[in-house]
Chain A
Amino acid sequence: MTAQDSITTPRKRKFKVPWAIVLPAIPLFLWLSLLIVFPHIRLAILSFLKRGQDIFFLDNFLNIFLGNYLAPFQDPDQLFSRVFFKTVLFSLVNTLLSLIVAYPIAFYLAKVLKGSRKFALLLLLILPYWVSELVRVYAWMNILRETGFLNYLLVNVLGIFDQPVEFLYNNTSLFVVFVYSSVLLMILPIYSSLEGLADEQIQAAEDLGAGPFATFRYVVFPISLPSVTYGCILVFMISAGNYLIPNLIGGKNTLWVTEMIYNRFIISTNWNLGSAYSLILLISTSIMIYLGLRLTGQSLRGVFSEQ
């Protein structure tokens, strides 16, 4: 071994891979890249190409085409715009309804119930989520349809109606099932934030002269605000991106953006237009969440770090 060797050897030492950090990160990396990042990159590329074109044909690579983004707005019927607007509006209403239903339940769970009763109610709330959404929606269809449980109750048992009524396929049934399927996502974060609120805080407010409304307004609600926002974001995104419920419960009049996207991809096999629809939905809902956060003076980081 020469003197030079002894100097260069340590420098040549191979870079050691920190497996303890890399190994656990591999599944996450694969999941994010294969299922989220790559498909979206591909959607983005497809959306800028003409119908039937793909980047696998190199000549198409530079033929950037904006028609897919313009087409929905050039349609004389404005079908896409109307459906898009309706999807967003219905998702907002669903978010609001879920919040109204969830908040009292979360408060009751966190501040009123104690011990085993609380555990039992939590379990009852979570239990239905052990089966798939499809099964839960079918269960609701069984309750609401013309020959379903509700009609049996109203006609045969209580005798309120002479004829069975079709409860399915309208906006009311749509919201009932929508709220049912998203309310837990609202309850759990609010519940956990209210759990962290000491009973003494509520007593202190009362002691200082605040009535129930003022106590809620100044002491209880501010503590839960990040969780309320978190729940609203979850419910809004999941409603706007839902396919099953509007399709099965909503009937013909409640066309959802997701159904239009599905139709482009599967029925008319226009993947390029379908990709543009998907990205319009993704980007505009993201912008809406950003604006919502700005309007209420919050930040995404603040909301998520509270969870």
Chain B
Amino acid sequence: MTDIDVELVNITKKFGELVAVDDVSIQVTRGSFFSILGPSGCGKTTTLKMISGFEEPDNGDVFIGGERVNGVPPNHRRVNMVFQQLALFPLMTVSANVGFGLKMSGVPKADRQARVEEMLEKVDLPGLGDRKPDQLSGGQQQRVAIARCLILDPTVLLLDEPLGALDLKLRDQMKIQLKRLQHEVGTTFIYITHDQSEALVMSDEVAVMNEGHLLQIGAPDELYSNPADYFVASFVGESNAFEGPITHLENGHAVLSADPFDFKSPTHPDIRVGENCRLFIRPERIRLMSSDAGSDALYDNQFPGEIQDVVFDGAVARAFVDLGHNTVITVLVTRTSDTPLPVEGEAVLVGWNALDALCFPE
């Protein structure tokens, strides 16, 4: 058990009638980058606050570094937090911001200065110590906020959507930088986000939450290819989604009817005939064929359609195929061969195998 840095055991938190966090248990491995992913209001921030000590759970226990910390105030937990709006102290210099925690714990000035220098070096901000936070770029402020915490050598660093305030391009850069920084310092990071791509890019493990419940914990790849339920399937990654009752079983496949289409889907012990289910097909699992490929069914599901639009994005392109009846599905076209991109208005066939889809009862 020694390589578990943070452990939540059956944590529950209520605000009046609202159950913000419902019976959540999480183990975070030492040195890992752990994300809690979910839409706003899913309880992820409350969970983070219970780890940091700004909220106390109504039920359950919080362990940090093997010690139970229920009732221990934030300033006595070996956990530090990077806030959503960063919350740098605007009147202090960068050095004073980074050295604040050391000053509070009574580290003498000379020692403090040396460690601040060293820390600024580590986060790639050497020589900027005399500036005020508002003289730095968004990305630099980010790193000051992280340095301010890391200098205290916390067991865990908590990050509350710190990339939210940045613009898209900077956010993409910061994802990589943050991951690299975490790797270098080796501190356990717990990262809160509603952005699935942030969670997938940076994390070793991701916990998906919705409406106070923990739905699944797993590596990004596992969440993507093996989601535990329909919420995870729809929230993590891009999907074509359909909904409808299972009409019958056929050749080991369940058939889901989303009028007027019948989709052959994987079976599952939970899936019964007559039950309403949700079907998800990842865009990269769908094949695009020319309409003259022949009527022989190469795939379990095969439908004619017309290219409505093609969005080109370098190595890949997204084709939006109109199947008629107000149904448009997205197909990812990888540009590995010399085949030309489909053009708008072209008649095509789309196809996928039953096992390429994910099917969940509602």
- Please determine whether chains A and B interact with each other in the same assembly: yes
Interface size on B, residues (CB 8 A): 22
Which of A205, A207, A210, A214: most chain B Cβ within 10 A? A207
A4 CB to nearest chain B CB (Å):
60
Contacting pair A208 B87 (CB below 8 A): no
| Chain B residue, CB-CB nearest to A208 | B101
Q: Is B81 an interface residue (CB 8 A)?
A: yes
Q: Is A292 an interface residue (CB 8 A)?
A: no
Which of B52, B84, B104: most chain A Cβ within 10 A? B104
Interface residues in B35-88 by Cβ distance below 8 A to A read 52, 54, 73-75, 80-81, 83-85, 87
Contacting pair A208 B84 (CB below 8 A): no
Contacting pair A209 B105 (CB below 8 A): yes
B74 CB to nearest chain A CB (Å):
5
| Chain B residue, CB-CB nearest to A222 | B91
Which residue from B52, B89, B90, B152 sits with its C-beta under 8 Å from A218? B89
Q: Is B148 an interface residue (CB 8 A)?
A: yes
Once bound together, how far apart are the Cα atoms of A214 and B101, in whole Å? 11
| Chain A residue, CB-CB nearest to B145 | A204
Task: Given A203-B87, A214-B104, A219-B89, decide whether A209 and B81 contact each other with a Cβ distance below 8 A.
Answer: no
| Residues on B with beta carbons closer than 8 Å to the beta carbon of A218 | 89, 92, 100
Task: Given A203-B74, A204-B81, decide whether A210 and B87 contact each other with a Cβ distance below 8 A.
Answer: no
| Residues on A with beta carbons closer than 8 Å to the beta carbon of B84 | 200
A256 CB to nearest chain B CB (Å):
38
Once bound together, how far apart are the Cα atoms of A207 and B75, in whole Å? 5
Task: Given A201-B89, A203-B54, A219-B89, decide whether A210 and B100 contact each other with a Cβ distance below 8 A.
Answer: yes
Write out, one digit per residue, whether chain A residues 214-251 have a CB within 8 A of any chain B CB (1) or not (0). Answer: 10001100110000000000000000000000000000
| Residues on A with beta carbons closer than 8 Å to the beta carbon of B74 | 203, 206-207
B301 CB to nearest chain A CB (Å):
50
Which residue from B52, B85, B89, B105 sits with its C-beta under 8 Å from A207? B52
A200-B87, A203-B83, A207-B75 given; 15 more Cβ-contact pairs under 8 Å: A200-B84, A201-B87, A203-B54, A206-B75, A207-B52, A207-B80, A207-B81, A208-B152, A209-B75, A209-B105, A211-B75, A211-B104, A214-B104, A218-B89, A223-B91
Q: List 28 A-B contacts (CB under 8 A).
A: A200-B83, A200-B84, A200-B85, A201-B87, A203-B81, A203-B87, A205-B100, A206-B73, A206-B74, A206-B75, A207-B52, A207-B75, A207-B80, A207-B81, A208-B104, A208-B149, A209-B75, A209-B101, A209-B104, A209-B105, A209-B152, A210-B75, A210-B104, A211-B75, A211-B104, A218-B92, A218-B100, A223-B91
Q: Which 9 A-B pairs have the closest CB atoms?
A: A200-B87, A208-B101, A204-B87, A209-B104, A200-B83, A210-B104, A209-B75, A207-B81, A222-B91
Residues of B within 8 A of A (CB): 52, 54, 73-75, 80-81, 83-85, 87, 89-92, 100-101, 104-105, 148-149, 152
